Structure 1
Amino acid sequence: MDVERIQAHCLAKPGAWPDDPWGHEHPVIKVGSADRAKIFAFLREDGVGVKAGTREVADEWLDRHPGHARVMAYIGRSGWNDLSFEIPDDELLEAVDESYRLVVEGLPRKHRPDGWDA
């Protein structure tokens, strides 16, 4: 896996778009209209930050992939982890898909993108 491939996977999701609010090398990927958009993926050169349903679920990633998964700074207590591209591709893509689902479900119904499946 690499950052270009994970970005393409993210941007293929309904309503997904890149944003660079902090001037980093890689964008964050958001879903929703600009005024109500929420981040579902933080892209890095060596991995991706994603949301899990709870901190307990996020901790399972830490247990399964020691050294390749870590709690994200500042928002980790809310269930966000940084996952390294050393984790198998299918697991990374599944984590991104789950992060997207959780974030979209958190949007008000009128702000959810057309074409997404719950």
Structure 2
Amino acid sequence: MRAAGLRALCLSFPAAGEEFPFGPETSVFKVGGKMFALAALEARPLTVNLKCDPEDALRLRAAHPEAVVPGWHMNKRHWNTVTVSALPERLVRELVEDSYDLVVAGLPRAERLRLDRP
């Protein structure tokens, strides 16, 4: 997956948006005002910070130590930094969707219903 594909994937979810609070080189993808992905899309290798269940985060880091590490400049318990090119595209898609779903789950019920994700 390339940067354009990652960006398109992140923006494909309901009510997802892209912001640049850390400067023009860092894309922050949010839903309901909460971040679910952060990436420097021009960086090589392409990496993305994704929210993750703490137990799943540990499992993923153990299974893919070359591609999944504790989130850089993030809460290491809840965030992973994923090297996109080092994982199958299907797995990257699942990790991005899981991150989005975790953030949506923390939104108020009315907003979750509006997003059709109870």
Same fold flag (TM > 0.5):
yes
* Displacement over 6 Å in runs of 4+: none
Give the counterpart letter for 1:60 in structure 2: R
Which residue of structure 2 lines up, in the alignment, with residue 41 of structure 1?
A: 37
Give the aligned length.
Answer: 113
Secondary structure of the structure 1 residue equivalent to 2:65: coil
User: Is residue 78 of structure 1 aligned with residue 77 of structure 2?
Assistant: yes
Alpha-carbon contact 1:68-1:87 (below 8 Å) kept: yes
Alpha-carbon contact 2:14-2:115 (below 8 Å) kept: yes
Which residue of structure 2 lines up, in the alignment, with residue 69 of structure 1?
A: 68
Which residue of structure 1 lines up, in the alignment, with residue 6 of structure 2?
A: 6
CA distance in 2, matches of 1:109, 1:78: 25
Alpha-carbon contact 1:14-1:114 (below 8 Å) kept: no
1:29-64 Cα distance to aligned partner (Å, 9 max, x none): 0001xxxx000011233121111112x210111111
CA RMSD of aligned residues (A): 1.7
1:84-104 Cα distance to aligned partner (Å, 9 max, x none): 111110000000000000000
Q: Judging changes above 3 Å, is the alpha-carbon distance between structure 1 residues 96 and 114 closer, same or farther for their aligned structure 2 residues? A: same
CA positional deviation for 1:21? 0.5
Give the counterpart letter for 1:62 in structure 2: R
State the TM-score, normalized to the length of structure 1.
0.86
Identity between Structure 1 and Structure 2 (%): 33
CA positional deviation for 1:113? 6.8
Which residue of structure 2 lines up, in the alignment, with residue 87 of structure 1?
A: 87
1:11-34 Cα distance to aligned partner (Å, 9 max, x none): 0100100011110513110001xx
Segment of structure 1 superposing worse, 44-53 or 69-78: 69-78
State the TM-score, normalized to the length of structure 2.
0.86
Q: Judging changes above 3 Å, is the alpha-carbon distance between structure 1 residues 52 and 75 closer, same or farther for their aligned structure 2 residues? A: same
CA positional deviation for 1:116? 3.5
Alpha-carbon contact 1:3-1:47 (below 8 Å) kept: no
Which residue of structure 1 lines up, in the alignment, with residue 25 of structure 2?
A: 25
